[in-house]
């Protein structure tokens, strides 16, 4: 079973007429926990909320995208082999985040799990679409995974999230299988995508 659903709200949105601002990718700080939780909860709800019972959604958000849950993830990063990266604007506001989880695999992935790393939870605030933030966050994960010697980078994406699938395919990811994702008692199908030798 997949451990997290990757959401991409970087669907083909129109480019903003606002002037572009610099986006800085860096490690998540404890002080970012509330912003990460808000983006995660809002984005997950917008992308998937309609497809699960309200009670299952509420329970999932409480355990996954509360400020306390995100803070615990950041604090326990070494024990869980997880890095969380955030995208900030010039003022320091968090615009999106993504995770790299080391040494985790899926049954449909061949080879040594220790050479696999997961790209997990790609979320970009709806207020920051059209600025290439998702692609920059993915690049940060890819760069870190490559520097650490991983051979396969993989992710899961909901079968009905066609815009996210197109993004990953454009960036060189290939669908290799399917897995289940549970939100409470609601079980959905996610596609497994991989990228090798990036």
Q: Which domains does the chain have, with CATH numbers?
A: 24-196 (3.40.630.30)
What would the pLDDT profile of 53-105 be if each residue is shown by its tens digit?
999 999 999 999 999 999 999 999 999 999 999 999 999 999 999 999 998 89
**How do residues 16-47 score in pLDDT, each as one tens digit?**
344 457 899 999 999 999 999 999 999 999 88
Rounded to an integer, the average pLDDT of 104-132 is: 91
The kind and range of the H/E element at 84 are strand 82-88
The b/e string for 65-87 (b: 16+ C-beta within 10 A; e otherwise) is: bbeebbbebbeeeeeeebbbbbb
Tell me the two tokens of residue 160.
């009905």
């Amino acid at each position: 079973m997949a451990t997290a659903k990757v959401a991409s709200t970087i669907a083909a949105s129109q480019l903003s007429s606002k002037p572009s601002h610099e986006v800085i990718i860096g490690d998540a700080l404890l002080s970012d926990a509330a912003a990460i939780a808000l983006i995660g909860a809002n984005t997950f709800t917008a992308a998937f909320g309609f497809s699960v019972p309200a009670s299952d959604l509420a329970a999932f958000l409480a355990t996954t995208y509360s400020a306390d849950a995100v803070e615990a993830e950041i604090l326990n990063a070494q024990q869980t082999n997880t890095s969380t990266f955030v995208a900030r604007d010039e003022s320091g506001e968090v615009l999106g985040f993504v995770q790299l989880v080391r040494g985790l695999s899926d049954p449909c992935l061949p080879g040594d799990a220790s050479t696999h790393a997961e790209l997990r939870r790609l979320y970009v605030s709806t207020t920051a679409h059209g600025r290439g933030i998702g692609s920059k966050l993915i690049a940060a994960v890819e760069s870190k995974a490559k520097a650490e010697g991983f051979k396969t980078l993989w992710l899961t994406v909901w079968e009905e999230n066609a815009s996210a699938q197109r993004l990953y395919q454009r960036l060189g990811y290939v669908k290799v299988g399917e897995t289940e994702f549970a939100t409470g008692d609601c079980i959905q199908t996610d596609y497994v995508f991989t990228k090798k030798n990036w």
